[in-house]
Structure 1
Amino acid sequence: MDATTPERRSRLRQYQVQLLERMQAAKTGPASGGRELGVMIGGRHCLLDLTQISEIVPLQALTPVPLTQPWYLGLANIRGQLTGVVELASYLHGQPPAPAAPGQRDITLAPALKLHCALRVEALLGLRYLADMEERAAVADAPPWCRQQYDDSAGCRWHRLDLAQLVREPGFLQVGL
């Protein structure tokens, strides 16, 4: 089946709408704690706190910004707002950014974090519940914003990212060379 068939696009659109509805419900629900968005970043399973993200958007056209770090992909117009787009895997591991690929999405940060930024992720993996996972020992040599780890019932290791700590990290804020 061709990846661009109307039927497949319609199913993808429905999935995205359902995921966004669940994210909004989780943010406003009475017991929203423990629900995280699972994403793939740099080949790792990662968890993003739903209160720290705003929306999931398809890849946008980027305007490159000269003299910036390689992990800073450029500026995108997302809902009329100029938003910096960062490839988090490249930032974390110091590797060159991967080329755009099907399945990648940009996830914008919540307004409460006061940074117009989107994180490029390889794939969306759906909602996850921390209550269904076992917390592991913190990774001592990792940056403070990505030290927490969890194992799910299938034995998959998840890295929980604290985006509020990430946006206060001086290296993340310094996009210029």
Structure 2
Amino acid sequence: MSSAAAGDAGAEGEGGRRDPAARRTRLRLYQEQLLEKMQAAKTGSGAGAGQLGLAIGGARYLVDLLEVGEIVAPAPLTAVPLTQPWYLGLANVRGSLLGVIDLARYLGQDAPAAGPGAPRLVVFAPHLGFNCALLATQVFGLRQAATMERAGDVLRDADGHTWTPLSLAALVREERFIQVAR
């Protein structure tokens, strides 16, 4: 029996029902661990600080986890007339309208290359104050920039992949990014 299974077995009371006190204790411990990881990420200390690896178009990017709200499957888009070609339209994600941006086109690249995984919307964190999502052709998951080799403005991982750091906070301060009208 694994330690996780042993812990769960000990949390059951009479008749196979879970012990509410044990459940609250586990929840409190989980919340404390999550808080420690978030604080480490904010200060840049500890192994908890990480980046999200994304493919946008044909390039790989690293985005700070604190700048990402969530990652969702693409929602149906409503086109908005008289906008830039890189502004794909509006999507309703959990009742919030988000502007969806094709960052590859914004950066002057050709249409995004299809990745092996399904495309995803990377929603900006609420504290950035910008209801927006980027279309990612693939999400690679968590990456640790500290373990990568710096080569100018890019990073190289152990597998030889090149990663470009991408700041969503800096992106929402760019005048061109904010002005989606033609």
Q: TM-score range by the shorter chain?
A: 0.7 to 0.9
**Matches for 1:13-162 after TM superposition, within 5 Å:** 25=34, 28-32=37-41, 33=44, 34-93=49-108, 95-96=110-111, 103-138=118-153, 149-162=154-167
The number of equivalent residue pairs is 144
TM-score of the superposition, structure 2-length normalised?
0.72
User: What SS does the corresponding residue of 1:68 show, helix, strand or coil?
Assistant: coil
TM-fit CA distance, 1:134: 1.4
Do the aligned residues in 2 keep the contact of 1:75 with 1:82 (CA within 8 Å)?
yes
Bigger mean CA deviation after superposition, 113-122 or 127-136: 127-136
2:57 aligned partner, one-letter code: G
Q: CA RMSD in A?
A: 2.4
Q: Which residue of 1 aligns with 2:178?
A: 173
TM-fit CA distance, 1:136: 2.0
| C-alpha distance in structure 1 between counterparts of 2:117 and 2:36, whole Å | 28
| C-alpha distance in structure 2 between counterparts of 1:70 and 1:30, whole Å | 38
Do the aligned residues in 1 keep the contact of 2:56 with 2:112 (CA within 8 Å)?
no
How many percent of aligned residue pairs carry the same amino acid?
46
Do the aligned residues in 2 keep the contact of 1:70 with 1:96 (CA within 8 Å)?
no
Residues 149-177 of structure 1, C-alpha deviations (whole Å, 9 max, x = no match): 11111221100101111100011001000
Query: Once superposed, which parts of structure 1, at least 4 consecutive aligned residues long, lie more than 3 Å away?
Result: 24-30, 94-99
TM-score of the superposition, structure 1-length normalised?
0.74
Do the aligned residues in 2 keep the contact of 1:38 with 1:46 (CA within 8 Å)?
yes
Which structure 2 residue ranges, 5 or more long, are not aligned? 1-32
Which structure 1 residue ranges, 5 or more long, are not aligned? 1-23, 139-148
